[in-house]
A and B are shown apart, each in its own frame.
Chain A
Amino acid sequence: MTRQQSYVLQRSLFYLLLAVIFIYIIFPFYWALRSSITPASELFVTPVSYFPAHPTLAHYQQVFGDGNFLAALRNSAIVAATVTILSLLIGVLGSYALGRFRFPGRVPIMYLILSMTMFPQIAVLGSLFALVSQFGLYNTLPALIITYLIFTLPFTIWVLTSFFQAMPRDLEEAAYVDGATAFQTLYKVMLPLIAPGLVTTGLLAFIGAWNEFLFALSFTQTPDRQTVPIAIFNFTTTTGGGFEIPWGPIMAATIVVTIPLIVLTLIFQRRILAGLTAGAVKG
């Protein structure tokens, strides 16, 4: 086989592999989409239908007509946004110190922060619940905001620290020479350089907080304080007893919740890629 041929073969195999991966990632989403427009009675019949015989928007109507779900969207947005902003703020400050300064206790502190996420969630749940009740935060959004930091802060700090560590010294030193304070250096020089890290950890923190279930279940009580993962399982069923799972509305709600997240991500990511490649090329 000529070099040209083997190159083409390699390329084709690679594209095939990519296609398989793409399908693996996307198929369940397609399944959710298909199920969200399938009437409830057709959801589990065999032979399996890849597109419903009688598509319906009834599930979406139920989702948008459900005041509790829309309130949950609002709650989730508030909690996730606040947690992300707080994590980034606290995280940037802390990881700047950990990544650019050498001081005694540096490594132990890093491991201390890591240890926050080394316990299973269920273990700390009881004590956190007692804490939350004690501060009178039960059934409030701040309870979630504060407790979510327990899992967003560690990886935010660790990721940003590694970004800070990888930054060249000369820019920082030049800034000092120019008379910039530490904060100015951080804000004007370093932050833009680690922008991919900020966007990534922000995104992961946002989605992590958005999809969290256990704490949201334990620290909120009334439907007006619940977040999306809880509300998604609370759609009206037509039978009592608590056994029925309303799959149609759940799938519709999943689509409703996922698509904006993806759109937002696409926009953010493109901006970052554009900004960075521009920066690196200019010598």
Chain B
Amino acid sequence: MSVRAETTGQLARARPRAGGTGSLAERQNGLAYALLAPALLVVVLVAFVPLFQTIAQSFTNARLASARPVTNVGLKNYTDLLTDGGFLHSIIVTVEFTILTVVFEFLLGLMIAMVVNSNFRGRGPMRAAMLVPWAIPTVVSAQMWKWMYHDIYGVINDLLVNRFHILSSNIAWVADPATSIPAIAAVDIWKTTPFVALLLLAGLQVIPSDIYEAADVDGASKVQQFMRLTLPLLRPAILVTLIFRTLDSLRVFDVFYVMFGNRQDTQTMAIYAQQNIVAFSDLGYGGAISVAIFLVIGIFVITYVTFLKVETT
């Protein structure tokens, strides 16, 4: 058994060397495809068929459970979308919400991950608490928060008005348009920070601690270590976390549906899609909305990958 032990020059080797020997790499192409086969099978089976059906439907006037014959209407659904004030407004609401929540979730999640990964005294309780919001089913926690926000018997108003005397009278957090989005953002941040924290924690855990020791020896401050060592090494984890968090945020549905229903000024793209597909049974238009959501998300993904310039090779 002669596996070489890891050397202290770990940092230098942290990035994989580009390329491999020629013939080895070629031989491995076949192996790579074989390894990917199960994943691709699932993608084709479970995802492709529904996705293509949705896209195909978006070019028709199909309605759910209707006897009317389905005809092709070309790009009509898409041109209607472009002039649909409701949909355009929902894009704004969703993007606003996404930026607000992803930024805060990221900051909070990073802080929590670093605390849990370190020797701080607050580490134990934080580790226990970290998963709680993610573990409670969304349908339950959204209702619970709505109840906590209630303007008559809600506990948040009770705390702010009666116990801490920060406010003078109850606020209708959910109903008042001025506080609606911040209120729901607080719920979503609460719910999904654990997701971010867990992923970043996993990324932190594979950073070997001896590089920090070496940096201490070299006299670098904690802040410098964070900016020069931690962040770059964490970049892949950050990229993945941001992509998936943004993706989920742009598709947000459950929490908005529970708190606001189909209220016009707070409809997100997914709520708008659901309204058309389920309530209005309009599969054609709903399909077009879904494709539009896909494109909006695609723009974000491309932006991330470009700006974070992580080697995907």
Whether chain A touches chain B in the assembled complex (some CB pair under 8 Å): yes
Say yes or no: A18-B115 contact (C-beta < 8 A), given A94-B35, A149-B42, A232-B137.
Answer: yes
At the interface, yes or no: B183 with Cβ under 8 Å from chain A?
no
At the interface, yes or no: A273 with Cβ under 8 Å from chain B?
yes
Q: Are A119 and B132 in contact (CB under 8 A)?
A: no
A204 and B135 alpha carbons, distance in the complex (Å): 9
Q: Are A162 and B47 in contact (CB under 8 A)?
A: no
Question: Which of B69-77, B80-88, B195-203 contacts the other chain?
Answer: B195-203
Q: Are A162 and B270 in contact (CB under 8 A)?
A: no
Q: Are B208 and A262 in contact (CB under 8 A)?
A: no
At the interface, yes or no: A57 with Cβ under 8 Å from chain B?
no
Q: Which A residues are in CB contact (< 8 Å) with B289?
A: 123
A-facing residues in B230-259 (Cβ within 8 Å): 233, 236-237, 239-240, 243-244, 247-248, 251, 253-254
Q: Are A120 and B251 in contact (CB under 8 A)?
A: yes
At the interface, yes or no: A64 with Cβ under 8 Å from chain B?
no
At the interface, yes or no: B92 with Cβ under 8 Å from chain A?
no
Q: List 24 A-B contacts (CB under 8 A).
A: A25-B132, A94-B36, A94-B39, A96-B35, A107-B312, A110-B312, A115-B51, A117-B251, A121-B253, A127-B49, A127-B53, A153-B42, A154-B244, A167-B16, A168-B10, A168-B13, A170-B4, A200-B202, A211-B137, A213-B138, A229-B140, A257-B135, A261-B135, A265-B131
On A, residues with C-beta under 8 Å from B are 15, 17-19, 21-22, 24-26, 28-29, 31-32, 44-48, 50, 89-91, 93-94, 96-98, 100-104, 106-107, 109-128, 131, 146-147, 149-150, 153-155, 157-159, 162-163, 165-171, 174-175, 178, 182, 189, 193-194, 196-197, 199-200, 203-204, 207, 210-211, 213, 228-229, 232-233, 245, 247, 250-251, 254, 257-258, 261-262, 265-266, 269, 272-273, 276-277, 280-283
Whole-angstrom distance between the Cβ of A115 and the nearest chain B Cβ: 7
Whole-angstrom distance between the Cβ of A251 and the nearest chain B Cβ: 8
At the interface, yes or no: B301 with Cβ under 8 Å from chain A?
yes
Contact of B46 among A26, A44, A146, A277 (CB under 8 A): A146
At the interface, yes or no: B153 with Cβ under 8 Å from chain A?
yes
Instruction: Find the residue from B7, B135, B143 having the highest chain A CB count within 10 A.
Output: B135
**Chain A residue with Cβ nearest B238:** A162
Q: Which B residues are in CB contact (< 8 Å) with A107?
A: 312-313
Say yes or no: A165-B236 contact (C-beta < 8 A), given A47-B158, A123-B277, A182-B31.
Answer: yes
**Chain A residue with Cβ nearest B310:** A162
Known interface pairs A258-B136, A283-B6; 13 further A-B residue pairs with C-beta atoms within 8 A, sorted by A's residue number: A25-B129, A28-B144, A48-B162, A90-B38, A96-B35, A97-B32, A102-B25, A103-B28, A106-B313, A119-B251, A121-B270, A159-B199, A163-B202
Q: Are A122 and B153 in contact (CB under 8 A)?
A: no
A45 and B10 alpha carbons, distance in the complex (Å): 61
Q: Which B residues are in CB contact (< 8 Å) with A171?
A: 3-4, 6
For the complex, would chain A's binding face be called helix, strand, loop or mixed by DSSP majority?
helix
Q: Are B290 and A123 in contact (CB under 8 A)?
A: yes
**Number of residue pairs A-B, CB distance < 8 angstroms:** 316
At the interface, yes or no: B64 with Cβ under 8 Å from chain A?
yes
Q: Are B16 and A165 in contact (CB under 8 A)?
A: yes
At the interface, yes or no: B216 with Cβ under 8 Å from chain A?
no
Contact of A90 among B42, B243, B274 (CB under 8 A): B42
Q: Are B127 and A269 in contact (CB under 8 A)?
A: yes
At the interface, yes or no: B139 with Cβ under 8 Å from chain A?
yes
